[in-house]
Amino acid sequence: MWDLFVILIVEWTNIIIFATKMSDIMKVRLFIAATLFCGFATAQQAITPEVLSELEKSSNTTPAERALRNAIQSNAINKMALVGNNQQALDTWFSVEVEGSSLSDQASSGRCWLFTGTKVLRQRAMKNLGVEGFMFSHVYSFFYDQLEKANLFLQSIIDTRKQDIDSQQVQWLMQNPIGDGGTYTGVADLVTKYGLVPKDVMQETYVSNSTSEFNGHLKRKLREIAINLREKSEAGASVKQLEAYKVEQMKDVYKMLTLAYGEPVKEFTWAPKDKKGKLLREPKKYTPMSFYKEVCAPEEDLNADYVMLMNDPSRPYNKVYEIDMDRHLYDGHNWLYVNLDIDDLAPIAIASLQDSVPMYFSCDVGKQLNRSNGLLDVNNYDYGSLLGTTFGMNKKQRIQTRDSGSSHAMTLVAVDLDKEGKPTKWKVENSWGPTYGYSGYLIMTDEWFREYMFRVVVNRKYCPQSVLDILKQKPIRLPAWDPMFMEEE
């Protein structure tokens, strides 16, 4: 602080000598500028008593200010910031809408990506089976998701064994050994490797509906195995020996998963039923893979024939990006996407809906969401007026500062187009149960869609050739800690 004081004295001496040659008006202006400079120079290091005094003076103490302060301290911010004039009855008409099906509920788990990713397959299965309300077993797929993620983490620990434990990559791995979130690529890889089974063949468990507690114990076990792997590597163990140790330790992981989620079925006998529970045909024996191939009749490759489109204004458009480690299986696919301007992305989504094909869709669902009616509108809440400030970041800035990112996956099922064919609002099927929002759905204005929508997964046939040509580029590789890594929950 004494050094700063000496510097300021010298600067003031120079200012005074220079000021003797100026007019009175210029002297006043110089004095104001110098005063501001001194205040800034002091404030940039620490909150001194002088700075604190200035801050305290800036807080209004009017009766209105005191009343607002009391109200905010005693009530939920969302209730107080809700814009009353924006609470008119929901407009639920959509000019383009995919026929709905029974709604699902991920309960207290982060498996939205799994519920959403199997939505299109579920619709195809119901059509082929001639039934309504059919559901796949999400816990069956989730079991293998967790097993594969555990192996991905441990094998990555082996791959990075030569790096310092304080390196960014190793630290990222230790911080993120496993989770219940995910993306579409995980669904595609899991289904094509392990198949699918009906819900009544492998039922949900308490843990699968409430994953956080068990997940904490699983993370701790994986970190313990990881540190043992690194110590064995330092002691001279070969890669082959480390991988053998990994497989041995994975037996404990497998046992923990069976205790929490049940033993995955290998074969089962099953037949579809009507609404009254009557069998519609003679029961048949299946494996998970034969069941998937029969009831879904996959005509396309869930990876190669689908494209993930992103709207990320923080990076150049019309480029292909791949995020390292953003996959569920070690031998699976990293998340790869084409970054498009929103005006180029929206028509592709519309084309899919016009062909009655819903899409995997993800967004920052918590922003400006009215939970009581399911409306996503940038005008739902006026936080700035309530808190006496402004919130002015645009989408690019929100991404760069990690204030916003894709947090939840849902199924895009409808769009309303005006006379010029421009979207005015969109509709998504959620996985929070039929009582949430608008009968299990959320409705978003097109303005909200532009601000907080991040990605959709569409069949290649709905993409113009210009987008398919972009896919021929060599992907720009992004690190695992990139803001876009955020898993949907």
Tell me if 73 is assigned to some domain.
Answer: no
For residues 415 and 85, the answer to whether their CB atoms sit within 8 Å is: no
Where in the sequence is the domain holding 420, given as residue range(s)? 84-95+303-485
Radius of gyration of the chain (CA): 28
CATH label of the domain that carries residue 196:
3.90.70.10
Of the candidates 280, 343, 356, 6, which has an alpha carbon nearest to the alpha carbon of residue 128? 280
CA distance 312 to 74: 38
Query: Looking at residue 6, what is its pLDDT?
Result: 42
| CB-count burial class (<10 Å; 0-12, 13-18, 19+) for 206 | exposed
Please check whether residues 191 and 246 belong to one and the same domain: yes
Q: CA 3: distance to chain centroid?
A: 48
Tell me if 78 is assigned to some domain.
Answer: no
Of the candidates 233, 269, 210, 96, which has an alpha carbon nearest to the alpha carbon of residue 154? 233
Please give the structure tokens belonging to residue 162.
Answer: 């030569």
Alpha helices in 314-411 (DSSP H): 342-354, 383-387, 395-400
Please check whether residues 89 and 137 belong to one and the same domain: no
Residue positions annotated with a catalytic role: 112, 408, 430
Tell me if 66 is assigned to some domain.
Answer: no
Query: Looking at residue 18, what is its pLDDT?
Result: 46
| pTM given for the model | 0.85
Q: Long-range contacts made by residues 245-250, C-beta under 8 angstroms, separation at least 24?
A: 246/151, 246/154, 246/155, 246/158, 249/154, 249/225, 250/147, 250/150, 250/151, 250/154
Tell me if 226 is assigned to some domain.
Answer: yes
Paired sense of beta strands 453-459 and 284-286, if any: unpaired
Please check whether residues 208 and 346 belong to one and the same domain: no
List, as one string, the DSSP characters of 3-25. HHHHHHHHHHHHHHHHHTTS-HH
Query: Looking at residue 431, what is its pLDDT?
Result: 81
Please check whether residues 287 and 344 belong to one and the same domain: no
Q: Per residue of the chain (489 residues), give pLDDT as tens.
A: 444 444 444 444 454 444 444 455 454 444 444 544 444 444 468 998 988 998 888 887 788 888 888 888 899 898 889 998 777 778 889 999 998 666 666 776 778 888 888 888 888 888 888 888 888 999 999 999 999 999 999 999 999 999 999 999 999 999 999 998 888 999 999 999 999 999 999 999 999 989 999 999 999 999 999 999 999 999 999 999 999 999 999 999 999 999 999 999 999 999 998 888 889 889 999 999 999 999 988 777 888 899 999 999 999 999 999 999 889 999 999 989 999 999 999 999 999 999 999 999 999 999 999 988 999 999 999 999 999 899 999 999 999 999 999 988 989 999 999 999 999 999 998 888 888 888 889 999 999 999 999 999 999 999 999 999 999 999 999 998 887 776 666
| CB-count burial class (<10 Å; 0-12, 13-18, 19+) for 256 | middle
What total number of domains does the chain contain?
3
- Give Cβ neighbours of residue 182 (< 8 Å, ≥ 6 apart): 110, 111, 113, 114, 145, 328, 487, 488
Please give the structure tokens belonging to residue 437.
Answer: 């929002």
Q: Looking at 296, 318, 337, which one is the last position of a domain?
A: 296
Please check whether residues 282 and 360 belong to one and the same domain: no
Alpha helices in 320-378 (DSSP H): 342-354
Please check whether residues 267 and 313 belong to one and the same domain: no
Please check whether residues 275 and 310 belong to one and the same domain: no
Tell me if 102 is assigned to some domain.
Answer: no
Please check whether residues 229 and 334 belong to one and the same domain: no
How far the first Cα of the chain sits from its last, in Å, is 49
Please check whether residues 136 and 254 belong to one and the same domain: yes
Please check whether residues 242 and 318 belong to one and the same domain: no
Please check whether residues 154 and 89 belong to one and the same domain: no
Of the candidates 58, 179, 88, which has an alpha carbon nearest to the alpha carbon of residue 480? 179
Tell me if 190 is assigned to some domain.
Answer: yes
How far is the CA of 180 from the CAs of 110, 210, 328, 399, 489, in angstroms? 5, 10, 10, 23, 7
For residues 359 and 346, the answer to whether their CB atoms sit within 8 Å is: no
- Give Cβ neighbours of residue 48 (< 8 Å, ≥ 6 apart): 42
